[in-house]
Structure 1
């Protein structure tokens, strides 16, 4: 059976552990890969009141706890960077938290699905679960 590659898109500290638990539940074998991916928009502080270094340390600790790879990028276009990572790493499944945005042009899940030019499963964790 082919190795499954799972990408976990994290944006907020409180949700990342639950998203990672979901991603690990999708693994079918020990050879399957889970990648935590966080993209910081240039000039944004994406972790709210936390210092960026504290937030990155938290992500690193969670990543280490689950034995996953962690990737942190800075980019002007978050959707393009996530799409590029998914393509370059031959991602099969993307795990994300449910978007609070109602408008399609603001909804990260909708925008990412439209930007990726191949069939990838999206596994969305409901807001109630986060």
Structure 2
């Protein structure tokens, strides 16, 4: 997905699908949160907005911390009773869950993804990797 879209806007002509690409800069996390929140509101999915924004924020932050290059975010809501979210970056190494000690300031991002999502995983890409998660939609 990385590099697929040069724009940082929702593909409004495709219902239930949104894609953005961000430069690896600190403002990417805030921009991703805003776009995800606004898109879910447009789709009428307010019930999953907070958890989706939190998990996207964690994954984009991980990409910023470990990768250099564009960060991609995709969301799909038209594939049944779930929301699929993907975050891609050019680093080929898959993320590793680690056990954070109580005093650690980091290391809980993937734990949050695992606990809050219906399922999650990673897959290699031609120029990096994608970390994805799926949330059940109410209804």
1 or 2, which has the higher helix percentage?
1
TM-score by length of 2: 0.28
